Structure 1
C-alpha cells in the first residue's frame, strides 16, 4: 500500500499566477493542470462563468517534491495564511476510509468521504488541531 503526504495550496483565483511564480523562482515543472471549466459538466450544478478559468487542480514538481494547487470556488470564504492543506494519497480505499474516520475525531468534516469523478474515495477533514487534510484514493479502478 502506498501512502504519501503532499502540501496543497488553496488560492483565491491566482493559482495560475502562483504556479508561474514558482516556475521562475524555484524551477517548478507543471505535471498537471485543469480548470473548473475543463472538468466534466454536471447539469444539476451549472458552472458560473467566473469559475471556468480558475484552477480546479494542479500539480507541480520542484526538485524531488510535489506541490498541489487549486483555486477556491467563487463565493467560498478565503483567508490569506490559511490556504495550506495536506493531501494524503493512498491506493487503498479502505485505508482512505480509516484515515478519514481517524482524523475527523474531535474535528470537523468539510466534505464527506465520497466517490468523485477523479477518485473512488475523497473527502476533506479539519482535525482537532485545525489542520485541514484532503484524503484521496488514487485511481478510479480501485473499488
Structure 2
C-alpha cells in the first residue's frame, strides 16, 4: 500500500505543472482534459472548463503524484492542511528547488541548517501549494 497526493489547482493546473516541469524537472506522465472524458448526460461538463485538466499524473523524482483543475470554483478557499515534502539528494539541489518554488510564493521558513538537517525550508508556492524542502539527515555510522 502507498499514499499518493492528489492536488487540486482550481483552474491553474496547467500553469502549475508547466512550472514544476521547468523548475523541478517534473514529468507529466498522463493528462486528460474535461473535453476528453466520455459524455455524461446527468453530469455534463460545466461550460468554460472543457480545456481544463481533469486528471494528470506527474513524476517528480521517484514519486508519482496526481493533479487536476478540480471544479474551477471561484469561491473555493486556498489549499491548506497539508504540505508536499520534497527531499533532495544534496544541499545544492535542495536550495535550487526551494528558490524555484519560492519565486512568486511566500517563504514561511527560509532555507537554512536545522538541528535535523543540513538544509530545510518551508514555503507556499505561487499556486498556493505548501512545500517543505530539505536534505536527508546524515546518520553517523
Shift of 1:75: 3.5
Q: TM-score by structure 1 length?
A: 0.52
Q: Specify the structure having the higher radius of gyration (Cα).
A: 2
For the residues of structure 2 that align with 1:72 and 1:11, how far apart are their CA atoms?
7
Matches within 5 A, 1:94-133: none
5+ unaligned residues in a row in structure 1: which ranges? 87-143
4+ long deviations beyond 6 Å: none
1:14 CA displacement: 0.7
Q: Is residue 56 of structure 2 the alignment partner of residue 64 of structure 1?
A: no
Aligned residues: 84
What's the counterpart of residue 127 of structure 2?
none
Deviation of 1:83 (Å) = 8.1
**1:33 maps to what in 2?**
31
Normalised by the length of structure 2, the TM-score is 0.53
Aligned-CA RMSD value: 2.3
| 1:23 CA drift (Å) | 0.2
Distance 1:35 1:83, change over 3 A: farther
Structure 2 portions without partners, runs of 5+? 85-141
Partner deviation per Cα, 1:55-102 (whole Å, 9 max, x = no partner)? 11101101111121011214374222338699xxxxxxxxxxxxxxxx
Work out the CA distance in 1 between the residues paired with 2:44 and 2:5: 30
1:49 has 2:47 as partner: yes
Matched with 2:2 is 4
SS of residue paired to 2:20: helix
